Structure 1
Amino acid sequence: MRSLLFVPADSTRKIEKALACGADVIIFDLEDSVAAAAKPAARELLRETLQGLADRSQAEMPRLYVRVNALDTGLTAADLECLRGLRVDGIMLPKAEGAGCVRRLSAMIGGVEPSDHRGATRIIVVATETAKAIFGLPSYASAGPRLAALTWGAEDLRADIGARDNRSPDGRHTEPFRLARSLCLFAAVAAGVEPIDTVFPNFRDEAGFKQECDEALRDGFTGKMAIHPDQVPIINEMFSPSPQAVARAQAIVDAFAAAGDAGVIGLNGEMLDRPHLLHAQRLLARAGR
């Protein structure tokens, strides 16, 4: 999952554009981008859309996720009910505050997913949207097999803690939000799931967006969320390992294999140990090797 694009579930035009943009994951949004009064109609349109996509081959399709409303809104059950009997790849849960929220949602999903898809619907959690949520991050290691990824959010967290802003004049996140970002990264890796970086709201600032993608990739995130189709090609390019990186990773793996169970090897004049091997294996997995 390199690129994960949000699209309002109540807009046929935006849905059609999103499906054609090349994103790895389309997230049909029933939460923030849909007004309260429009949610029932959005659920109906979403069901019709998913029914219309059911006959397409998996090779033609991005992964399909649905962002439901938070558990404490009382709207989650209705969101899931519109998916009854339909196959989706996953659900995104906003404003989660720990593994208990994932287990609760998992049980709800089990009541609506089709029998031939039982247990296959995955969950992506937006894990940092409240101050309380920060303290629940370590619990995701016990969230269960449906958990696929953790991502973080800055806008709702800003509102929750009462921050004047979440970015400094140079466009980078301020310290409280960088802390939330780092903790989310650590929590995802500890839980054995994908760490996904948050959105970059100014979709017209291509230079700033590329810089934030580069920082996310540098630090260990494996993908990034998008709010506009124009951001998708940039994410896909930047989060795809280069041929040079793949070749180096393969050489490291091959060298360790040739050395048996060695803890340290030499390759092209460089001493490499087991963390280098693990990094190479992860890069090759991202490249589909």
Structure 2
Amino acid sequence: MRLRSLLFVPGDRPERFDKALASGADAVILDLEDSVSAQNKPVARDAVHDFVTRRATDATLVIRINPLTTSACEDDLVALGNINPFAIMLPKAEGAASVRQLAGRLSSAVPILPIATETPAAIFEIGSYRDVASYLFGLTWGAEDLPAAIGAATAREADGRYTAPYELARSLVLFGAHAAAVPAIETVYPDFRDLDGLAAYAARARRDGFSGMMAIHPSQVEPINHAFTPDATEIAWAEKVVAAFATSPDTGVIQIDGRMLDLPHLKLAKRILEAGKLAHEG
């Protein structure tokens, strides 16, 4: 399954649910946490329950619940216990222990997508996700809650780049996801009007090894999908690399267009072809 774009929609705005599905996003995240006020959470639970009941069989729906340590989480799990979304997004996750705790409280085996960087303690647990990889469908991060938790003024430089602590958090999640052999999902780009900046941000994410990205507005979906879909030039290069190694199975190094390529390049080529295949099938 391709998961290039995952679009958030507030759980208390059911009139937006079908619009989110029509946006072209590979998955829709129905949010019960930050985008929903405390007084609206019961309404949001009902709306999400009804929508997932109707659409879970023909749409990729993820539900972001409230943090495990809150009473709102318990209410979420009770209200949603008899439905089967594609996955549950777990905010404020703190490593394998959080995943095991949530898995034990779910009424069925639903894959989990932890947000792995929202508390200081969470940073030190990122390597543990490989111990619970069978419960996961991916790993992602956020750059908003952690600065607030430690009293930082911002996570970004004036030009939009992350400051050093948050580049570290991003990198740890990227490596943590690959260590667990699950998709690494890039965090959101907050300025939904800046589509050029979004395109550059998403391209950087794919370059670095992320396989998809979260979105906060339907206008962001197409640029994200484009960034995470290999183009014809990439596909042609990958096919050439795979074919060259296939004709010389006993060698670890080949030459293509004046460049020496070894087995890591073959691995990259196969990843590109797999991503292209998933995009074509979608």
TM-score (norm 2): 0.94
What is the letter of the counterpart of residue 46 of structure 2?
E
1:132 maps onto 2:125 in alignment: no
**Residues 180-221 of structure 1 deviation map (CA, whole Å, 9 limit, x = unaligned):** 111111111111111111111111112221221121111111
Aligned to 1:108: 105
Aligned to 1:116: none
CA distance in 1, matches of 2:250, 2:267: 14
CA distance in 1, matches of 2:199, 2:222: 11
CA distance in 1, matches of 2:131, 2:254: 35
Aligned to 2:207: 218
CA distance in 2, matches of 1:35, 1:261: 61
Aligned to 1:249: 238
Give, in angstroms, the shift of residue 238 of structure 1. 1.1
What is the letter of the counterpart of residue 43 of structure 2?
A
How many residues align structurally?
Answer: 276
Aligned to 2:9: 7
CA distance in 1, matches of 2:201, 2:163: 13
SS at match of 1:272: strand
SS at match of 1:288: helix
1:178 maps onto 2:167 in alignment: yes
SS at match of 2:277: coil
CA distance in 1, matches of 2:258, 2:189: 40
Give, in angstroms, the shift of residue 85 of structure 1. 2.8
Q: Report sequence identity in percent.
A: 48
**Residues 232-271 of structure 1 deviation map (CA, whole Å, 9 limit, x = unaligned):** 0110111101011012112211221221142112223321
CA distance in 2, matches of 1:153, 1:144: 20
Whether contact under 8 Å (1:263, 1:274) holds in the other structure is yes
SS at match of 1:7: strand
SS at match of 2:25: coil
**Residues 76-131 of structure 1 deviation map (CA, whole Å, 9 limit, x = unaligned):** 2321233333221100001101011111111222x2x3xxxxx3x21111001111
Whether contact under 8 Å (2:192, 2:220) holds in the other structure is yes
CA distance in 2, matches of 1:272, 1:184: 28
Alignment of 1:144-159 (within 5 A): 144-159=133-148
CA distance in 1, matches of 2:48, 2:69: 22
Q: Please list every run of 5 or more consecutive structure 2 residues that lacks an aligned counterpart in the other structure.
A: none
1:71 maps onto 2:68 in alignment: yes
What is the letter of the counterpart of residue 42 of structure 1?
A
Aligned to 1:52: 54
Q: Which deviates more, 65-74 or 279-288?
A: 279-288
Give, in angstroms, the shift of residue 145 of structure 1. 0.8
Whether contact under 8 Å (1:171, 1:208) holds in the other structure is no
CA distance in 1, matches of 2:262, 2:67: 44
Aligned to 2:34: 32
Aligned to 1:142: 131
CA distance in 2, matches of 1:167, 1:11: 30
Aligned to 1:18: 20
**Residues 35-65 of structure 1 deviation map (CA, whole Å, 9 limit, x = unaligned):** 11111111111111112225x6x3xx3x111
CA distance in 2, matches of 1:178, 1:144: 24
Q: Which deviates more, 134-143 or 277-286?
A: 277-286
Alignment of 1:86-105 (within 5 A): 86-105=83-102
What is the letter of the counterpart of residue 219 of structure 1?
D
Q: Which runs of 4+ in 1 moved over 3 A?
A: none
What is the letter of the counterpart of residue 170 of structure 2?
R
SS at match of 1:199: coil
Whether contact under 8 Å (2:133, 2:181) holds in the other structure is no
CA distance in 2, matches of 1:209, 1:266: 35
SS at match of 1:86: coil
C-alpha RMSD of the superposition: 1.4
CA distance in 1, matches of 2:231, 2:79: 41
Aligned to 2:255: 266
What is the letter of the counterpart of residue 75 of structure 1?
A
CA distance in 2, matches of 1:25, 1:36: 25
